[in-house]
Homo-oligomer: A and B are copies of this chain.
Amino acid sequence: MSQQDKGVRRRPPRVTIKDVAQAAGVSPSTVSHAYSGRRAISAKTRERVFAAAEALGYSADPHARSMRTGSSGMIGLVLRPRFAATGAPEASETFNRLAGSMATECLRRGIGLVHVPDPSRPDYAAVPMDGCIIAHPYAGDPMIDLLASRGIPVVCADPDPDRPDLPWTAGVDYAEGMRAVFDALGVEAGAKVWLMPGSEDNAWNRAARSVHAEWCAGRGAVPEVHVLSEALSSDEARACVAGLLDAEGAPAALVHSLSKLTGPVMEALSAAGLAVPADVRLATLTDSSFARAAHPPVTALDLNHEGLAAAAVDLLLDRIAGGSPPAGPIRVRPQLNVRESTQP
């Protein structure tokens, strides 16, 4: 058969540890140990080994190494609300920020981070990882169990709302932060306060509902809840809010979860002849450029994704290293950014 068999790419034949051993006149295990340093090697032979390796362009096959050692030096990341990444580019700000923070934290520590493809796809190929972070899991998220059943150490970044007490979990302290948001509204007893949470059943949306209910009860405010789904386009969101304002009348304050929909919400208010903050106080439960750049700028809760990422990565490395679960819950604090939309 010729050098040139039809269309088959000519992967350069891999240089193996044996080739290096032969070239250096030593045994394969000596080469291995020269690299790993797991047993003493005389300086002279080490030099010879490295020289041979250099000359041949050797580098260890990560597949083979991982197979033997059982670990890959990488951790996985599964970022729930997948749709967060499927909208318009500008709507991916939250996804990007959390994913980017995770990557940054891993790179700092010299480990690889792999974005795990959706295992439910037919063409799915399992990915090698020493452990996995599941960010913003759904209630009873089957992904947690799937990975656990494969023996992969899992850490949740934000709790599974149906299993808040899973030991290996880091989360954002939503309750405190969200109470501060409602406090910032500065509305009086008897006022109607709308909450417009997202439709996904995760810790964040659940916290919004419960804090809203409690807070209104405590202050004698009148709670109303209207879902504003993550799946909505800007036009749909505007229409949705416009319809509600028409049907229900204007609230004294409106808190919506998704700041990527802040623009449409404000347009609907404006179209109904309502001024922010004079007629309606407005706040949102994620901070983003949308909240900052709105007119007027909108009070928002910065979820501190960087802090969550750092905590989750630390926790996972701990778990992989065989540590015991932390005694108490690990909580990072979000930060309230008060802006004009709540300042009369």
Residues in chain A within 8 A of chain B (CB atoms)? 7, 9, 11-12, 14, 57, 59-67, 70, 72-74, 82, 85-86, 89, 92, 95-97, 99-101, 103-104, 106-108, 110-118, 121, 123-128, 149-151, 288-289, 292-293, 297, 306, 322
Known A-B contacts A14-B151, A96-B101; A128 and B293 likewise in contact (beta carbons under 8 Å): no
The residue of chain B having its C-beta at the shortest distance from the C-beta of A7 within the complex is B322
Cross-interface CB contact of A127 among B86, B97, B112, B126, cutoff 8 Å: B112
Contact of A293 among B65, B85, B112, B289 (CB under 8 A): B289
Docked-complex contact A85 and B103, CB < 8 angstroms: yes
Given contacts A57-B149, A289-B292, contact A106 B100 (CB under 8 A): no
Is there an interface contact between A89 and B115, defined as CB atoms closer than 8 Å? no
Q: Which residues of B contact A288 (CB under 8 A)?
A: 289
Residue pair B117, A114 in contact (C-beta under 8 Å): no
Among all A-B residue pairs, the 6 with the closest Cβ atoms: A96-B100, A289-B289, A73-B125, A63-B67, A114-B114, A62-B128
A344 to B322, CA, bound (A): 63
User: When A292-B293, A322-B9 are in contact, do A85 and B104 touch as well, CB less than 8 Å?
Assistant: yes
Docked CA distance A243–B110 (Å): 39
Q: Which residues of B contact A67 (CB under 8 A)?
A: 61, 63-64, 67
The answer to whether A113 and B114 have CB atoms under 8 Å apart is yes
**Extra contacts besides A103-B115, A112-B127, A292-B293 (19): CB < 8 Å:** A57-B149, A61-B67, A62-B128, A63-B63, A64-B67, A65-B125, A73-B117, A73-B125, A74-B114, A85-B104, A89-B306, A92-B100, A96-B97, A96-B99, A99-B99, A99-B100, A110-B118, A289-B292, A293-B297
A105–chain B nearest beta-carbon distance, Å? 9
For this complex, 15 residue pairs linking A to B, each with C-beta atoms less than 8 Å apart, are: A57-B149, A62-B126, A62-B127, A63-B66, A63-B67, A63-B70, A85-B100, A89-B101, A97-B100, A103-B115, A107-B115, A110-B123, A112-B115, A114-B114, A292-B293
- Hey, which chain B residues are within 8 Å of A149, CB to CB? 57
Given contacts A72-B63, A306-B89, contact A100 B95 (CB under 8 A): yes
Chain B residue nearest to A89 (CB atoms) is: B306
The distance from the CB of A16 to the nearest CB of chain B, in whole angstroms, is: 12
Of A11, A65, A100, A117, most B-chain CB atoms within 10 Å: A100
Name the residue among A85, A117, A151 with the largest chain B CB count within 10 angstroms: A117
